[in-house]
Chains A and B, each alone.
Chain A
Amino acid sequence: MNAAETSLVAAFAPPAREPAWLGEARRSALARFEALGLPTARHEDWRFTSLAALGALPFARAPAGDPAVASALLARGAAPEGPRLVFVNGRLAPELSTRGGLPQGVILSSLAEALREVPEKVRPHLGRLARPEAHAFTAANAALFEDGGFVLLPRGAAIDAPLALVFVTDAPPPAPLRGAEEIRGQAAAAPAAVHPRTLVVAEEGARGIVEEVFVGRGASLTNAVTELVLADGAKVEHVRLQVEGPDTFHVGAVHAEQGAEATLGAHAFSLGARLSRSELWSRLAGEGGEVRANGLYMADGARISDHFTWVEHAVPRCTTAQTFKGILDGTARGVFSGRIRVLPGAQKTVAHQLSSSLLLSDDAIADTKPQLEIFADDVKCGHGGTVGQLDEASLFYLRSRGVPEADAKSLLIWAFASEMVGLVGAPALRARAKNLIAARLPAGARILEAA
């Protein structure tokens, strides 16, 4: 086992007051993690994303974070107003959270609270979709999670305000280059590992918006797992906003299951982290279900941003629409790997997948793997992928109108990226995503002003 694996296994300490079934699940997940080990480049799903740098780090359980620091981090534009739960280093920070004004029956709580208060709502779903068997990170999360969010949208509930779960990591700064011996001698400064675990249950016909925000600083690993259970006719928009610090490894998996006529809009904005991996596993289990999965990633420097989707059509008359866009600069690497599986009998499936990458520098890398696996004949499926640089003609046009080159580039990138923002339904989330994207463009502030 490498340093990361060893340290994660060593961090295993199930909370004392948990139900027995959960302790059992944790122990078996840990055994699974030990057996699997972290994936390597030989693993087909990880062939473009090397975890070598992560594997070399010994992670410690995250210390209690400083609420003042957390609140400063939140002030940088990512913090949602309205009902929100804030977790600092994996633990609920009540002083930063607000949860008033929710309609009757709607629950926004920490998972630990939910396990105490409404275990009958949690137990049937926790770990049902995110199976630890095949996935090392999911196994590690299942074994090691401390807390996370629990959202229950009861039958027929309709709530317009986004319910936010904010995960703040306040970790020690990365160790400067030192020998391995010294690192071991200074366990206190070891990078922190946090494993947020979230469960969202939308009962029949419920409608809501759930937002997960990841911010932080310092050297850390965020290994998040989210399960979304959509009963028949439920409509959920799930937005994942990842703006972690430049020394964070972020691995986040979203597992969804949809009943008949259920609609899921899943948006992933991956703007931060040193290595960002965002996964969406979705199973359309009831007729007439629809999943819209979108992603935008921006990476510069030597960062890696990897998006992975796996959508399974198990029944007839379901729809998938996916759009993923990447903007890559410096020596950054962007990876998109999406698979749509249409199982036997899933007739009248409509599935479309689009992946576009923009390369802004000579050394940026884009790897794209859109995949269709189809076992039914009466289907309409397609995918498209493009990789290229900014359009010369558009750039020339803008410059001929007197727009400086840097601004013209910013404008074109803005145009490319803002399509993804437009796909988000909730206006408040759109505005925040726009601000965060603009903050990453040289002329972003002026563009926002003009808009």
Chain B
Amino acid sequence: MSTAEQLKDLTEQKYRYGFVTEIEEDRIPKGLSEEIIRVISEKKGEPSFMLEWRLKAYRHWLTMQEPTWANVRYPKIDYQEVVYYSAPKQKRALGSMEEVDPELRKAFGKLGIPLEEQMRLAGVAVDAVFDSVSVATTYKKKLADLGIVFCSFSEAVREHPALVEKWLGSVVPYTDNFFATLNSAVFSDGSFVYVPKGVRCPMELSTYFRINAKDTGQFERTLIVADEDAYVSYLEGCTAPQRDENQLHAAVVELVALDGAQIKYSTVQNWYPGDAEGKGGIYNFVTKRGKAMARSKLSWTQVETGSAITWKYPSCILQGDDSVGEFYSVALTNHRQQADTGTKMIHIGKNTRSTIISKGISAGRGQNTYRGLVKMMKGATGARNYSQCDSLLIGDRCGAHTFPYIEVRNPTAKVEHEATTSKISEDQLFYCKQRGIPEEDAVSMIVNGFAKQVLKELPMEFAVEAQKLLGMSLEGSVG
């Protein structure tokens, strides 16, 4: 097979995880109004502070306009055409995995992530979000013994209302931005983690999200609080079935790292990117932000391979002195995918440090934009940032764009930014080939090498999946 054919084959690869699971659903009419919000809140049995918060957000949202600054193009979204709540029907409370709907378990099986095996082999507690409601939570007891709360957001609202009320919106207020405000009004479910003082969470916490019901916007809300000197590593992974209509996803993730705490948040995102012509595919408008207090550390690692549109800037507010922020990202766009992603590092405290490593890969007609902000505030004495943004182009119809913003208000702060753009070097390819390595493997090696700096930051459980994802779309990429 010629190189060109290989390239064509591989870049036209269909979404492998495209299927629809028939599951009975509990749905509400489409559209958005105060009435709908009351229904959502009531269905979830929420306390009144939660409903008030949602309504405040909704009223604020009505005054906002959808942002247009991102370097992405998509047809206008009709927010009244979206169904804001859908939950798999549960007949009764489930005691163990065996009681989970077999259809649902089969779906996870098809995705190659059998829960039981993961529990046994990897020691991972899995809080599986199927559409909007958590249906299976494992390893709860072990965590509970340490005082760690790891549950679905709805459960947290019911059982730990004080914690939720204290921290919800403390990093991403309900007025934050168009999509975050929409999320605040209608969020369906998500995960909640609280790690008490001095506790080191003994396992990677993970959630597999899936978008399932047709026309259902998914509005995840995740809140992770690590109390003083606590440590937690959280894994988020996504895959969704093939669709004809665009699906809206507007998630919010808030991280709070109190003094001396560490939070590591890893994402592998592989939602349906649309077909080769860009039809269908998920719109992913995510607000992720963490607040780091003194001596604490926040680390975002993401591998973004899916979605038709990605609009996502995991950020760190380095508020406490000596706090550290990290952002490691691999973003891949193929076919007609568009990604506008990056990070914000807001240095407020003294001697705060941040590192940004972003690797963008564009193939087909994909458009990949890195957009990042490094802001050194007045008080950020001795603060330091290093940013590196590399882009790899595969084919001559894609685009790679780099839009960093550097704003410095303190002379002792040091900021460095570097960016490069290139294609796969023909020398490297030739070298591999003359050593007997097939072209396809060589390209895969080179691409994985390009992304390695980021992939090595992923926890073991994810590293394998991430490499597989990159390989699937990128082997044989010869420019």
Contact = CB atoms under 8 A, between A and B. Distances in A.
A65 interface: no
A388 B413 contact: yes
Contact of B416 (A344, A347, A361, A385): A385
Contacts of B395: 377
Interface size class of B (residues with CB under 8 A): 35 or more
Given A369-B403, A377-B395, A364 B411 contact: yes
Contact of A370 (B398, B408, B417, B479): B417
B110 to A, nearest CB: 35
Nearest to B399: A375
B461 interface: no
Contacts of A369: 403-406
Given A365-B409, A377-B393, A377-B395, A385 B414 contact: no
Nearest to A379: B421
Interface in B378-417: 378, 391, 393-417
A385 B387 CA distance: 9
B440 to A, nearest CB: 18
A366 B406 contact: yes
Contact of A344 (B394, B396, B401): B396
Given A377-B393, A379-B393, A387 B408 contact: yes
Contact of B411 (A362, A371, A385): A362
Given A366-B406, A377-B479, A359 B411 contact: yes
Contacts of A361: 411
Judged by DSSP, the binding face of A is: strand
A368 interface: yes
Contacts of A368: 404-408, 417
A406 B409 CA distance: 23
A373 B399 contact: yes
Interface string A353-394: 000010111101111111111111111111111111100000
A363 B415 CA distance: 17
Interface string A392-409: 000000000000000000
B420 interface: yes
A332 B414 CA distance: 18
B422 interface: yes
B427 interface: no
A181 interface: no
Nearest to B69: A44
Given A378-B396, A384-B419, A389-B412, 17 more contacts: A359-B411, A367-B406, A368-B404, A368-B405, A368-B407, A368-B408, A372-B402, A373-B399, A375-B399, A377-B394, A377-B395, A377-B398, A379-B393, A381-B420, A381-B421, A384-B417, A384-B418
Interface of A: 44, 48, 344-345, 347, 357, 359-362, 364-389
20 contacts: A344-B397, A347-B396, A359-B411, A362-B378, A368-B407, A371-B401, A371-B404, A372-B401, A372-B402, A372-B419, A374-B391, A374-B421, A378-B396, A379-B393, A379-B422, A381-B420, A382-B418, A383-B417, A387-B413, A388-B414
Interface of B: 69, 376, 378, 391, 393-423, 479
